[in-house]
Structure 1
């Protein structure tokens, strides 16, 4: 019988793995973490966030069997600095019958290796962070750039002066820029406005998060920044 509440397992609790575990816990999920380093498991924030922490060799099939890995909705393999261990862990998880396995990689070459071993998807946190930092340095008006897929991205930007005092309808934003405004953060509101109404009037200090094809967002960026 499948459990009602989703649960996840994070193997490898370095900075990335710990961050993933804490955020999943904050979102209300049951999260178990495992690492071979006893000192890592003594972190109080990690202990408070996790449903359970286990010490052991995550490349060991016997240890993974003890964790009942197939009971989790997904397993995160976070050992990007130890590529061999990450590969062995992914292979062991797939042999045990885990359907959804996410893995961290330091570069595209290792990412292809992890996908070949059976990882459902691979994350490149250092590469993604570097891309966002570079984007912000080159474009100070751009607060955040997120690549959502090979064909779709998200862009957080301060509202251009041309937008102030006008609504999405007046700007004909969706048709003109081929993008969708999914959130507005206003200095006059305590919480962001999610999916703003077409008659929302932009105010000085507003920031918008818009989603669209990368080429269309790039055109939007170039027009105003």
Structure 2
């Protein structure tokens, strides 16, 4: 099933996540108190609305508790960020990721139950978007606008198959450049190498090809 996301705060950081999730085909509700920002993302997100997320009535009216994941990317208003997080927790939102302004903000967010806390200086919007879309993606590094290196956990769908059995390069146009297995790392694995469920596959290729591979062979 396609996951549903809500992004609260459409500044540079929240906008980046909103855009990236939408490009990956996810359903995204974009929310901001600034009408101009909402208008900017109305053609990018599935839905874009003007709203004050420190108002519990507003969040309830949006059906926020039904979303799989809510990302709070509110800018400099730490109080609004904390209040929004508290309300979302009380409403029973499944997973909440919050942008922290500083270490103090992070400590407060941790205490009130934020599931994931990120610092924009350290985490690009696209990296976070890839991580939260799939449970199999451990890390993501953008090489260019269209190519990336991704760490993906091997699922049961590829367990026991060799690289030559899967014929990944020919079918998907991507390359497995290394395999992490426990404490061992197999660099440039041989075509006869058998993949074991739980292996971490380090893949390089075009984003569209990596997404095809992940959807067809990796996602549980």
Q: 1:34 to 1:195 in 2, by over 3 A?
A: same
1:83 to 78, 86, 91: 78
| Alignment TM-score, normalising by the size of structure 2 | 0.58
In 1, are the aligned partners of 2:22 and 2:28 still within 8 Å (CA)? yes
1:54 to 49, 53, 72: 49
1:101 and 2:96 equivalent?
Answer: yes
In 2, are the aligned partners of 1:106 and 1:126 still within 8 Å (CA)? no
Q: Larger RCO: Structure 1 or Structure 2 (Cα < 8 Å, ≥ 6 residues apart)?
A: 2
| Structure with higher helix content | 1
1:25 and 2:26 equivalent?
Answer: no
Q: Which runs of 5+ in 2 are unaligned?
A: 125-137, 144-172, 179-187, 192-201, 204-220
CA–CA separation in structure 1 for the residues paired with 2:24 and 2:77: 28
1:193-204 residue pairs with structure 2 within 5 A? 193-195=175-177, 197-199=188-190
CA–CA separation in structure 1 for the residues paired with 2:142 and 2:12: 25
1:183-194 residue pairs with structure 2 within 5 A? 192-194=174-176
Q: Secondary structure at the match of 2:48?
A: strand
- 1:32-91 Cα shifts (integer Å, max 9, x gaps): 010010111121xx2222110010101110100011011110100111411100000000
Q: Secondary structure at the match of 1:8?
A: strand
1:114 and 2:105 equivalent?
Answer: no
CA–CA separation in structure 2 for the residues paired with 1:126 and 1:24: 20
CA–CA separation in structure 2 for the residues paired with 1:118 and 1:107: 17
Q: 1:18 to 1:195 in 2, by over 3 A?
A: same
1:196-215 residue pairs with structure 2 within 5 A? 197-199=188-190
Alpha-carbon RMSD = 2.8
Partner of 2:5: 8
In 2, are the aligned partners of 1:80 and 1:105 still within 8 Å (CA)? no
For the pair shown, the structure with the greater C-alpha radius of gyration is 1
CA–CA separation in structure 2 for the residues paired with 1:24 and 1:154: 14
Shift of 1:156: 9.4
How many residue pairs end up in the alignment?
A: 143
Q: Which runs of 5+ in 1 are unaligned?
A: 130-151, 158-190, 201-208, 211-225
Partner of 1:218: none
Q: Secondary structure at the match of 1:34?
A: strand
In 2, are the aligned partners of 1:106 and 1:127 still within 8 Å (CA)? no
